[in-house]
Structure 1
């Protein structure tokens, strides 16, 4: 990777557009716009006019099939809720693994927060927003060892933590995912929580009949970041158990939309059945 992640910028755009909603937004993320290049910032600025916002959202949802925008914002809200629950239950460290342009370390108060990411994306983020006490850990999960880098940054392996691994596994190899999960299982103290997203493997191998998967996958391929890995949901519990982790929750972004969008009357925003969020205990 030579520059920052295009996928990370797209998710930041979706979060900035969600923040600009006036009455029915799922979360606030005032820093999201600062993560964006100038063209996207102009889009967000225009979206402050409600009619323009509706047009932009319709355009994105129509031209990028599969529901990447709505899937991104409902997963953001779901993960926020799980992070806050873990902190309330006693976690004292927040780790954003493959952080991209995630601003949770600023939006959700944690005693200490670490952001682990590819050095190129992390460098872009540090230019666009203040650190605000976040401890940055430059790591390329495809080649670098995670645990030593985190501990060198001050991570306490004896204290419970909540780890967010959002929007990353589907861009890695099976070996990198396995290595990372084993490293986390060996590093995290009892009482820790891991929250991660993944793509249903049936969306990658063609065995699943999912709406919009071909179009969404084609879009990320055009951006130079094709999907390379997925789990089979039915096998996830056993896979994690073999690596010392206990699955406690696994649902799709479509399931999350029923919880978060439908009560707000937001029923026409497509979300993906094949994009999933899992929660596991160490």
Structure 2
């Protein structure tokens, strides 16, 4: 990625801020999301607190770019639930890999009882650290350790251990919104390092884009071209049918593989929210063997 804060990370933060502004029918509450926004995005998020304005804004986004906003909302809640399940099952540390503007370290109940490591590109992380210092009291962030690392050129294990990560401890790893911006060797090396670094029974939660979008077999609408124009093109994807075998070769057992549309059916539909998340955005969970 370029040596600047991620634009797509800002957009995901906007989607989370809009969801938080909904009030009674939101599927998660992320009060920090708006703090990660600048300029026009922050104004939009604040205006969205007036419910009719927020609903119209969400509909406008979904009309212009069908799929990404409800996909981000559905996957956020699904990953929240998977992380809490892992913490309840005995995970002793959390690794947010490519953390972006993820605020789980500060908002998930009970997460402050374990060490949380936020590993991210140095440019994006520098912006986030400054914003967190202004938004979160020191006592609410003592459990969080920041790990600046560029996965395209640096070794993940060395960077983590320099910053206090405990090797071979039960861990839950969240790798959200990252793999589709990497190269195949970077994804392969990262998976192998995670399998070596964490204890048997640890969990990896990752998102990915269906490879057939990159191959032109599936039409993903205007969003891939939009992120390409922003300088963050999609460069990698998995074929869902092959994911289990790929992970098994690298020491992981696939537990769950769900499209964000299926996640929207789980979380949004029961609230009467008929919002069409994308099938080509997917969330997978795997156990370290």
Q: What TM-score results when the alignment is normalised by the length of structure 1?
A: 0.96
1:3 & 1:206 partners in 2: Cα distance? 29
Question: What's the offset of the Cα at 1:54?
Answer: 1.0
Question: 2:168 — aligned with what?
Answer: 158
SS at match of 2:188: helix
How many correspondences in the alignment? Answer: 277
Question: 1:3 — aligned with what?
Answer: 4
Q: 1:274 aligns with which of 261, 265, 280?
A: 280
Q: 2:185 aligns with which of 157, 162, 175?
A: 175
SS at match of 1:128: helix
- 1:63-122 Cα offsets, whole Å, 9 max, x none, are 112x10000010000000000000000001011000000001001232110000000000
Question: 1:244 — aligned with what?
Answer: 251
Note if contact 1:253-1:277 (Cα within 8 Å) is conserved in structure 2. yes
Note if contact 1:91-1:191 (Cα within 8 Å) is conserved in structure 2. no
2:16 is aligned with 1:12: no
Q: 1:112 aligns with which of 109, 115, 122?
A: 115
Q: What TM-score results when the alignment is normalised by the length of structure 2?
A: 0.94
Question: What's the offset of the Cα at 1:148?
Answer: 1.2
Note if contact 1:96-1:164 (Cα within 8 Å) is conserved in structure 2. yes
User: Aligned Cα RMSD in Å?
Assistant: 0.9
Question: What's the offset of the Cα at 1:207?
Answer: 1.8
Runs of 4+ aligned residues of structure 1 deviating over 3 Å after TM superposition are none
SS at match of 2:222: helix
Question: What's the offset of the Cα at 1:2?
Answer: 2.5
Q: 1:205 aligns with which of 191, 210, 215?
A: 215
1:33 & 1:278 partners in 2: Cα distance? 27
- 1:127-171 Cα offsets, whole Å, 9 max, x none, are 111271210000001111001111121111132000000000000
Note if contact 1:99-1:115 (Cα within 8 Å) is conserved in structure 2. yes
Note if contact 2:65-2:221 (Cα within 8 Å) is conserved in structure 1. no
Question: 2:64 — aligned with what?
Answer: 63
Q: Is there any run of 5+ residues in structure 2 with no aligned partner, and where?
A: none
Question: 1:123 — aligned with what?
Answer: 126
